[in-house]
């Protein structure tokens, strides 16, 4: 049941994206689109696409709520915190071997030498 609703939800999402991209930009958002002259603007098609967009949006929200309710019902039996307390505790892993500071110096250099610039 949940998988069927999820597939319908995904198809609605893709359809909604497609319908929105098909619509003509009339608001001039970001200073683009719109164009001049509304003599042959095709308002009938825009109204039909607008209604289809609203219908797809309502169906998308309905499937979102349905999926949320189904997920809440399935997780009502246990909590994440319950699962964490039921897990066996593991011993702390030993610290990795860290090399000594002397091992990190290049050969022939002494870490006790003063840090003074060499005179040329």
pLDDT at residue 75 in the model: 78
Question: Following CA atoms 40, 43, 48, 53 in sequence, which dihedral angle do they give, to the nearest 10 degrees?
Answer: 110
pLDDT at residue 112 in the model: 61
Cα–Cα distance measured from residue 99 to residue 101, given in angstroms and rounded to the nearest whole number = 7
Cα–Cα distance measured from residue 74 to residue 63, given in angstroms and rounded to the nearest whole number = 17
pLDDT at residue 38 in the model: 52
Q: Could you state, in chain order, the average pLDDT of each consecutive group of 10 residues for the chain (120 residues)?
A: 94 96 72 53 69 95 96 77 64 65 64 60
pLDDT at residue 1 in the model: 86
Cα–Cα distance measured from residue 23 to residue 50, given in angstroms and rounded to the nearest whole number = 8
Q: Per-domain residue ranges for the chain?
A: 48-74
């Amino acid at each position: 049941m949940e998988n069927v609703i999820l597939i319908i939800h995904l198809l609605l999402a893709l359809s909604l994206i497609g319908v929105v991209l098909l619509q003509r930009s009339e608001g001039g958002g970001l200073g683009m689109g719109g164009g001049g002259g509304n003599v042959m603007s095709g308002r009938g098609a825009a109204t039909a696409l607008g209604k289809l967009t609203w219908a797809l949006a309502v169906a998308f929200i309905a499937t979102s709520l349905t999926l949320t309710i189904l997920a809440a019902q399935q997780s009502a039996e246990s909590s994440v915190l319950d699962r964490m307390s039921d897990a066996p505790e593991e011993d702390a892993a030993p610290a990795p071997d860290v090399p000594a500071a002397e091992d990190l110096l290049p050969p022939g250099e002494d870490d006790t030498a003063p840090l003074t610039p060499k005179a040329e």
